[in-house]
Amino acid sequence: MAGPRESPILETNDIKEERREEVSLDKNKPEDKERERERDNNMAPPAGSSIHRSSSRPQLDLSKAAIQGNSEERDPTILLPNQSDDISSHLALDIGGSLIKLVYFSRHEDHSTDDKRKKNVKERLGISNGNRRSYPILGGRLHFVKFETHKINECLDFIYSKRLHHGGIDSHSWLTDAPTNENATIKATGGGAYKFADFFRQRLGVTLDKEDEMDCLVAGANFLLKAIRHEAFTHREGQKEFVQIDHNELFPYLLVNIGSGVSMIKVDGDGKFQRVSGTNVGGGTYWGLGRLLTKCKSFDELLELSQRGDNRTIDMLVGDIYGGMDYSKIGLSASTIASSFGKAISENKELGDYRPEDISLSLLRMISYNIGQISYLNALRFGLKRIFFGGFFIRGHAYTMDTISFAVKFWSKGEAQAMFLRHEGFLGALGAFMSHEKHGLDDVMVHQLVERFPMGAPYTGGKIHGPPLGDLNEKISWMEKFVLKGTEIIAPVPMAPPGTTGLGGFEVPSSKGGTLRSDASALNVGVLHLVPTLEVFPLLADPKMYEPNTIDLTDHGELEYWFTVLSEHLPDLVDKAVASEGGTEDAKRRGDAFARAFSAHLARLMEEPTAYGKLGLANLLELREECLREFQFVDAYRSIKQRENEASLAVLPDLLMELDSMSEEARLLTLIEGVLAANIFDWGSRACVDLYNKGTIIEIYRMSRDKMQRPWRVDDFDVFKERMLGSGDQKPRPHKRALLFVDNSGADVVLGMLPLARELLRRGTEVVLVANSLPALNDVTAMELPDIVAEAAKHCDVLRRAAEAGGLLVDAMVSGQDGSKESSSLVPLMVVENGCGSPCIDLRQVSSELAAAAKDADLIILEGMGRALHTNFNARFKCNALKLAMVKNQRLAEKLIKGNIYDCVCRYEPAR
Ligand SMILES: CC(C)(COP(=O)(O)O)[C@@H](O)C(=O)NCCC(=O)O
Ligand SMILES: [Mn+2]
């Protein structure tokens, strides 16, 4: 492979053009002044971030960061207008004795278009930053990669190929056209920051800016524990359980970092810590001794071996001493290790007589127990109850974690708790990254980070093929390669070249027979997307207690069932996706790669459900959409959605006439029935898709409505009706504002939710239609809704006036036809995006637009299985809430409502 100096620089002319445009912004030209002003107006600082620009040190300045881009785009952008020229702060390194850990930040170019809907909504909702957008994904991402230290050249090649030493090839920004800055610095910690300083200078022309290792470890751990929801977990008897850590109760704790050696640090706060102990018996000891004793070629190989080992052949157990008996008086079972390697003294055997597998396991247990015990003693010394273990010795290895947990539990008699970190090996590197003054990361909140698990690796066969991470063609051929090999893929997230350890490589032999998987240390850390505009939905009654998922996938039967459902749905989904892109050869290739990638994710999760953090059904459904987007399927159900919208809009006038002829009470019931009946149009449900072959949309809609019979399986309609219409002479005050979380396109939104919205508007309630930011199945998106509303408004004065008042019909030429001239109130109808691209909704991470709309809302209506049943069924709100859905899955119906497929849920819960 070419050395760093000779590596080609990957750059296209287009990129250069765009950069030039940005660079040429001339403050003296009037049009440029205008652009600059607009940019300033459009980009408000992310909520809660304190903004300073450092005077001299390199930094990643997130102040006035704005998410921009077109929602059709794969990688929308975060624009960092205040980013200084020196962007070497994109990268930080932790160069340890065995491994180099690398954390880097990437971002993407802006291609924003102005969206009138957004501007209008923001004006109405009083959001000042007129152009701030939120997406489930965006251009600001933190990546985690590692290399073996003795392969430092690979690390340098990687840094060079991605141009991380002076900005990053992903960051097609106005900043990166600069030639390599000879004064560029890279933050680095670990002993190698000293040892390899000259090497980095010679090879990359950069200076390593050294940061203290302990400072970095603590900063990294504190960041992870505060900013990432499912970071810490316990591990007992092979079971991982994520622990929710309250920020206010985080300190003090003991941080045990197990690298080559071991450090034990008492952490009392941000930057407040003391190294209280350590041990020289650590990861280096295991690897060093193991290498001598087993002839293994790598740490991971040694760990792999241990998985097939039996330490009883070497360790002296209590039972060996007590004739197979427990020593129960002091609480020791016969299987307890009395003396590690103790059997070797009493037997007349040579090294070659022992199996390397057994040696490796014995060694692993010896070192893990020892570390667990010393950690416990130090926790005891300072009265600490929580011990977090980090460092690459652990490598997500179940046996290691179980052994350490056992030691801590055993010696503390259950008083202290051992916890592990998903990003265990990256504490130092993250801390070094954070050490850049005011790059904004220290202000990041849990809800602003979204972790994604892309296939993403551009590497095969141990070589960097470039272009770097994210290139579609590379990904596809990478997936195809595994077809040719005819191998089962069960580790979908390799992110570093095989030959490095931990994160990657299908090439690494499996611990389980012939299948290919990432090595034993499968770390499963994804890419962290920073989305500063995400917020917690303000109407949640108790955000800390909120759990979006209803179905618990830790139940293995449940997990198996949903995996089968999703796998069986896959061929049909691929057909739709390929057809949506014109059925071209390219689309077929991508479709195939998508199917493989998603199956690989499923298989990986089936093997280890907690591999990507806590797993709920919503995560699985979202993963599928994300995976489609990764292979650039913009909207698989586009044409189905269009067809169903048109068919439904054609019958809307008749429905509205029918409704208008009814009494108030009958109308409300018919409207709710209509919503439930129309929720049958769900292309994610196997049963429903089978139904669609049996008739036209309108026929199915009629059939569904005809079958509506009260009482529904969950039926709170009468309570809702009372709140809406009152009882006797008492007329209740109308709701001020209702948020309607809409679901599917076609009849669902046109014949179900829009007529309900119209009723609310008529009663003087402002209505906000809340729709997806990005497509998911046949769900309607916020981008599509204004056109649908405009069409509907042609047949309805109420909708037209409200949509005009809400700024939805700026361009539409609409004239009313339904003759319902009554109550010409000017309550607005608005559309906001929810910040999601999934059939479900996690209300801990919604768009700032939705959060703003929620401020004045006193009624929310959640519609559909995804939003009201799979997620949020148990959610409680500060305002009145109505949950409406038809259950289109037999198993869910039985489990959730003890009913049957096509049963309905109308759950009304008054404000808490
Ligand atoms: C994906 C869905 C949640 C979408 O339902 P919706 O929110 O549109 O009502 C639902 O179709 C579903 O759970 N499907 C998988 C189960 C099945 O095929 O029966
Ligand atoms: Mn849906």
Spacing, Cα 778 to ligand 2 middle (Å): 6
Spacing, Cα 7 to ligand 2 middle (Å): 47
Whether the predicted pLDDT of 367 surpasses 90: yes
Residues 837-849: pLDDT tens digits? 999 999 999 999 9
Spacing, Cα 772 to ligand 2 middle (Å): 10
At the fourth CATH level, the homologous superfamily of domain 638-909 is: Uncharacterised protein PF01937, DUF89, domain 3 (3.40.50.10880)
Spacing, Cα 207 to ligand 1 middle (Å): 54
Residues 425-435: pLDDT tens digits? 899 999 999 88
Whether the predicted pLDDT of 136 surpasses 70: no
User: Residue 827's closest CA among 782, 735, 762, 873?
Assistant: 762
> Given this model, what pLDDT does residue 264 score?
98
Ligand 1 atom nearest the C-alpha of 889 is: 19
Average pLDDT in the 726-747 region? 95
Q: Which residues line ligand 1 (CB under 6 A)?
A: 565, 621, 679, 682, 684-687, 743-744, 777, 839, 864-867, 870, 885, 888-889
Whether the predicted pLDDT of 404 surpasses 90: yes
Number of Cβ within 10 Å of residue 597's Cβ equals 24
The amino acid sitting at 11 is: E
> Counting ligands in written order, which one lies closest to the CA of residue 550?
1
Q: Which residues pair with 772 in a beta bridge?
A: 781
The residue to mutate among 549, 619, 682, having the most atoms of ligand 1 within 8 angstroms of its beta carbon, is 682
CA 476/CA 456 separation, integer angstroms: 10
Is this complex's ipTM strictly greater than 0.90? yes
Number of Cβ within 10 Å of residue 702's Cβ equals 14
What mean pLDDT, rounded, does the chain reach? 80
Geometric angle at alpha carbon 891, from 889 and 897, rounded to 5°? 90
> Given this model, what pLDDT does residue 520 score?
30
CA 903/CA 699 separation, integer angstroms: 19
Find the range with the poorest average confidence among 171-175, 383-387, 713-717. 171-175
Residue 700 binned pLDDT confidence (cut-offs 50, 70, 90): very high
Average pLDDT in the 624-647 region? 96
Residues 141-192: pLDDT tens digits? 888 888 888 889 988 988 888 888 875 433 333 233 444 455 688 999 999 9
> Given this model, what pLDDT does residue 73 score?
36
Percent above pLDDT 70 for the chain: 77
> Counting ligands in written order, which one lies closest to the CA of residue 679?
1
Spacing, Cα 35 to ligand 2 middle (Å): 39
CA 112/CA 174 separation, integer angstroms: 15
Residues 414-455: pLDDT tens digits? 999 999 999 998 999 999 998 876 556 777 888 988 888 877
> Given this model, what pLDDT does residue 611 score?
84
CA 363/CA 208 separation, integer angstroms: 36
> Given this model, what pLDDT does residue 182 score?
56
> Given this model, what pLDDT does residue 472 score?
78
> Given this model, what pLDDT does residue 193 score?
97
The residue to mutate among 887, 889, 904, having the most atoms of ligand 1 within 8 angstroms of its beta carbon, is 889
Residues 93-121: pLDDT tens digits? 999 988 899 998 887 544 444 567 777 77
Whether the predicted pLDDT of 329 surpasses 60: yes
> Counting ligands in written order, which one lies closest to the CA of residue 886?
1
Q: Do residues 455 and 479 touch, judged by C-beta distance below 8 A?
A: yes
CA 738/CA 880 separation, integer angstroms: 9
Spacing, Cα 477 to ligand 1 middle (Å): 32
Residue 123 binned pLDDT confidence (cut-offs 50, 70, 90): confident
> Given this model, what pLDDT does residue 399 score?
86
Find the range with the poorest average confidence among 213-222, 510-519, 779-788. 510-519
Ligand 1 atom nearest the C-alpha of 886 is: 9
Whether the predicted pLDDT of 207 surpasses 50: yes
> Given this model, what pLDDT does residue 499 score?
27
> Counting ligands in written order, which one lies closest to the CA of residue 868?
1
User: Residue 533's closest CA among 835, 142, 225, 227?
Assistant: 835
Spacing, Cα 379 to ligand 1 middle (Å): 48
CA 288/CA 282 separation, integer angstroms: 10
Backbone φ and ψ of 177, nearest 5° = -80, -10
Number of Cβ within 10 Å of residue 878's Cβ equals 17
> Given this model, what pLDDT does residue 640 score?
96
> Counting ligands in written order, which one lies closest to the CA of residue 776?
2
Greater confidence, 51 or 485? 485
Whether the predicted pLDDT of 125 surpasses 90: no
Number of Cβ within 10 Å of residue 30's Cβ equals 8
Spacing, Cα 864 to ligand 1 middle (Å): 8
CA 614/CA 549 separation, integer angstroms: 10
> Given this model, what pLDDT does residue 818 score?
52
Which residue ranges does the chain devote to CATH 3.40.50.10880?
638-909
Residues 21-75: pLDDT tens digits? 222 223 344 444 444 444 333 333 333 322 222 222 223 444 444 434 443 333 3
What sections of 413-466 are H helices per DSSP?
427-434
User: Residue 118's closest CA among 855, 910, 793, 831?
Assistant: 831
CATH fold of 232-310+355-421: Nucleotidyltransferase; domain 5 (3.30.420)
Which residue ranges does the chain devote to CATH 3.30.420.40?
232-310+355-421
Whether the predicted pLDDT of 536 surpasses 70: yes
Spacing, Cα 680 to ligand 2 middle (Å): 9
Find the range with the poorest average confidence among 137-141, 667-671, 866-870. 137-141
Q: How would you list the strands of the sheet with 449-452, edge to edge?
A: 207-210, 185-189, 91-95, 99-106, 141-148, 527-530, 449-452
> Given this model, what pLDDT does residue 793 score?
96
Backbone φ and ψ of 657, nearest 5° = -65, -45
The residue to mutate among 683, 685, 869, having the most atoms of ligand 1 within 8 angstroms of its beta carbon, is 685
Whether the predicted pLDDT of 619 surpasses 90: yes
> Given this model, what pLDDT does residue 357 score?
96
User: Can you say whether residue 479 is alpha, beta or left, with left for phi > 0 and alpha for psi between -120 and 50 degrees?
Assistant: alpha
Q: Which residues pair with 254 in a beta bridge?
A: 266, 387
Instruction: Supply the angle between the helices 617-630 and 556-580 in degrees, to the nearest 10.
Output: 30
Whether the predicted pLDDT of 615 surpasses 80: yes
Percent above pLDDT 90 for the chain: 58
Average pLDDT in the 333-339 region? 86
Ligand 1 atom nearest the C-alpha of 778 is: 8
Geometric angle at alpha carbon 860, from 640 and 69, rounded to 5°? 55
CB under 8 Å to 801, separation ≥6 — which residues?
824, 825, 826
CB under 8 Å to 758, separation ≥6 — which residues?
656, 796, 798, 799, 802
